[in-house]
Structures are given as C-alpha cells and as structure tokens.
Amino acid sequence: MLHARLELASPTSTAHCHKLQESMLSSASSFKNYRGILNWCVVMLVLSNARLFLENLLRNGILVDPIQVVSLFLKDPYSWPAACLVIVSNVFILVALYTERKLAMGSISEKVGLLIYIFNLTIILCFPMVVVLKLPSITPVGGAFALGVYTILFLKLYSYKDVNRWCRERTQAKARSPSSPSASSAMQSHVSYPGNLSLRDMYYFVFAPTLCYELNFPRSESIRMGFLLRRLFEMTYFISNVLSIVFQWMVPIIRSSMKPLQEMDYSRMTERLLRLAVPNHLLWLIFFYWFFHSSMNFVAELLRFGDREFYRDWWNSETITFFWQNWNIPVHKWCLRHFYKPLLRRGAGKLLSQSAVFFASAFFHEYLVSVPLRMFRLWAFMGMMAQLPLAWFVARFLRGNYGNAAVWLSLIIGQPIAVLMYVHDYYVTHCQDDPTIAEAL
C-alpha cells in the first residue's frame, strides 16, 4: 500500500501534464457542449425582460383593456361586416366546385373552364378589397382577417384547379392506353377522379391546414384528445400574450415615436426603433408558435390531417433563401408546385423564377397591409423585394454562424422599420386632423 502511494507521488508519473490541444472556445476545438452558456443566455433574457416589464408597469400602468381588444375587430358590436365578408366567400367555393363538375362531365371545354376560373379568382382578390375600402365599419384588424381568408382561398382554389386539370389529363392518357389490372385494383381503396368532386371533399380541403390540393390526403388513425386540449390551451394562452405585448409594450413605444418621426430626429428615431425591436420580435416569435404549431396542429388533429410539417428548422438558417423555404412550409410547397416549377417548365431561368416568386409574395404582403389600412405605401412590398439582394449578399459573403446572425438581424431590425413606417403614415393619413388622437399620441 505504501509502495503504491509512493509510485503515485513519484516525479515520473507527473512529468507530462501537457498535450497538444486547443482552447475550448476556439473554433478549432472539438468541444460542442455549450448548454451552460445557453442556460445563462436564457436567464439573462428573462431577467432583462422582467426589468423592462416592471418598468413598463410602473411608467404606464395596466393598458390592456378587453373593450379595446374587441374594438379592433368591431366598431359596432351588432354589426359584423368582416364576418359577413368571410361567409360570402362560400359563393366562390361553390362556383369552383360547379365548374369542375361541368369540366369532368365534358359539358364545358377547358378554355371555358379556364375563363370561369380566371374570373372567379380575380373576383376573390378584388371583391373583398373593394368592400374593405368602401365600408368604413370594417376595422383594419377585421379587414386584414377577411383579406387573409380570401387570400388563402385564392391559393387553395388555384391548386384545386391545377390538380383536377392534371387528373383529367391523366384520365385522357389512360383512355388512350389500357391500364394494368393490378394498378386499378390497387386504387380501389382511394378516391379517384372524378369521385373527389363532392361538397364534403371540397370543404375538407378548404378547412385543412394546407394550400396544396390532393385527392387523398394522409390521415391519422384517430383524434388524440390530450394533444387537442394542449394545443387549445396554447392557442388561448399565447393569443393573450400577443395582445398584452401589443397594448402594454408596443403601443407606448409607437406613440412616443411619432414626434421623432415627424421631426426627422434620427438619433431618437434609432433609439425608438431599437426599443421596438425587442417586443416586435417577441411578438413575431409567439405568433409563429401560436399559428404554425398550436393552431395548425389543432385543426390538423381535429380533421385527422396527417401531414404536420408546417415548418422546418428555419432558426438554423445560414442564408435568407433557406429561411424563406423553411419557415412557412404550406406557402413554400404551393409556390414550388404551382408557380416556381411551372415557370421552369416553360423555359424561365432559376433567377427569374425566384424573382417572380418573391414578387408575388411581395404583392400579397402589401395587399394584406395596405388595403386594411386604406393607404398605399409599398413598404411591405419593398421590404420583400429587398430580400433578393440581401439573399445574394448573405449567400455570397457570409457563411455559417455569420450567415445565421445576418438572418436573425434582418428579422429583428427589418420588421420594426416597416411597423414604424406604416404606423407613421397611418397617423398622418387618418389621425393627424383628429385633435383627441393627436394629443394622445
């Protein structure tokens, strides 16, 4: 025992205490466990936001008012023009279904069907826009909700048109060449064209959390009540957080930003922008989780819709292009299937096709903002189109963590700029002549 202790304490056993190795925080190190640093960041984030929350309460008091929340959607509690506008959208759904049935029976030609669709889809975009612009009783939030419903319906019916046309083309091709008995027997358990042209199938697609139509959607075996209730709780909890952040945190900052914007005081404008960036980004993150995870999973579970890939790991984006391809999968799939690939098949280049996709996205962003606010400013349109040169710059000059930081910076800073621009223009256009509102701001 004494011999072992002497051997452990001998100089020869401790002569070599160094080896070739990198520091843990060096990029050349193989060390990757930064969980403690991540926990530290979370603790610091919670503490800093708790201080801001307490400071806000001490300065402004409690600003969340349920009556004010209701007034965002309704001016008159007995008049629901936005809801009526949504109900009218059923007319366009039935027109699309009736058109497809006539095309399947051969009662109308493909050209006539296409003209009906062009007219129907054009009215879907123009009709709610005219109603929102001409009807003063529709609030900006109510108008944005109604226009959002009609935009989703436009994309869904466009996909419905394309898929049913592809089915007719395949049916005509099979009629020319006899199909194998094994293939026909294998399809007996699935809906086949034109058996899909039913009211039940149409409205299932209208309410399903997808923009791309299929005759046979993947379906889950049953409805999990525990999963459904958790998503319902999240929807209720997070929407209350969104309203609290808007009224308690963002509204006071926006009000204090009007004077620096009017006086073009760039130092104070920058300070207000940075103050607004934190709650605005927090609001965007909560809304993402509320909509793409809680709400869409709730609807999918209720309808037993099997494809739950509503988003991918956009938070790891190292390029702007990767972000736009992964944060909103339903829209990305629609653009890829019904817009980008058809352009490529018609001979358009990749750059032109990508630019066309961004242009269409910019149009709908501006449509959903300018029309409800009843003003035409193009801030959302220019913000979306600016993604093209930004995407090129990040992909060209930034890599890895630098590219990811650039993506996050564009999200954190870019959105508050657009918010301030629209709020300022809305104030100048609608509220500047009202002394009560001007004094409040």
Residues serving a catalytic function are: 365
CB atoms within 10 A of CB 284: 14
As a whole number of Å, the CA-based R_g of the chain is 28
**How many Cα atoms are found within 13 Å in the side-chain-facing hemisphere of 391?**
17
For 171-231, the DSSP string reads HHHHHHSPPPHHHHHHTTTS--TTTT-SHHHHHHHHHSS-SS--SS--B-SS--HHHHHHH
Partnered with residue 305 across adjacent β-strands are: 219
Helix%, strand%, coil% for the chain, nearest 5: 75, 0, 25
For residue 218, whether the previous peptide bond is cis, meaning omega lies within 30 degrees of 0, is: no
Can you tell me the distance from the alpha carbon of 382 to that of 164, in angstroms, rounded to the nearest whole number?
A: 35
Q: What angle do CA 43, 44, 49 make, to 5 degrees?
A: 100
Q: List, in order, residues 6 or more apart from 333 with CB less than 8 Å away.
A: 210, 211, 212
Identity at 211, one-letter amino acid code: L
H runs (alpha helix) in 374-430: 379-385, 387-397, 400-426
For 110-125, the DSSP string reads HHHHHHHHHHHHHHHH
Can you tell me the distance from the alpha carbon of 48 to that of 250, in angstroms, rounded to the nearest whole number?
A: 17
The b/e string for 67-89 (b: 16+ C-beta within 10 A; e otherwise) is eeeeebbbeeeeebbbeebbeeb
CB atoms within 10 A of CB 205: 22
**φ, ψ dihedrals at 223, nearest 5°:** -90, 125
